Amino acid sequence: MIFLSQNRPRRKVKTEKMDSKKPVMEYPCRWTYKIIGSGNREMKEAIETIVEGQDYTITPSNVSRTGKYHSLNLEMTVDDEEHRTGIYDKLRNHPAVKMIL
């Protein structure tokens, strides 16, 4: 088992060869993005806009000790790597989102 690079959501994946650098993933697959921001409502609106028309589930995750930051889990089926990274990039670039894991 290896992890994806730190620029993408971390997830264990199987590889055909343990010595290969890039993991081989089977698509379509379920993927979870952990989204961190300062407001649940704004993050939910961002998610709904970005993944409009697709099946997804949003679940609350954590709140920072001071209550300033909230995290949500977005789980959805991604069709291929381009789809997975496209959603990641759109979320990452949205002003309501501070970080994605």
Residue 37 domain-assigned (yes or no): yes
Residue 10 domain-assigned (yes or no): no
Residue 89 domain-assigned (yes or no): yes
Average pLDDT over the chain reads 85
The pTM of the full predicted model, rounded to 2 decimals, is 0.76
Residue 19 domain-assigned (yes or no): no
Residue 65 domain-assigned (yes or no): yes
Instruction: Report CA-CA distances (Å) from 23 to 15, 20, 87.
Output: 5, 7, 19
Q: What is the pLDDT of residue 89?
A: 98
Residue 9 domain-assigned (yes or no): no
Q: How many domains does the chain have?
A: 1
Q: Answer yes or no: is pLDDT of 53 > 80.
A: yes
6: its two tokens? 């730190």
Identify the CATH number of the domain in which residue 71 sits: 3.30.70.260
Residue 38 domain-assigned (yes or no): yes
What is the residue-wise DSSP string for 27-85?
Answer: SSEEEEEEEEES-HHHHHHHHHHHTTTS-EEEEEEEE-TTSS-EEEEEEEEE-SHHHHH
> Which phi and psi angles does 16 have, rounded to 5°?
-70, -40
For 2-11, what is each residue's pLDDT tens digit?
334 344 444 4
Q: What is the span of the domain harbouring residue 83?
A: 29-100
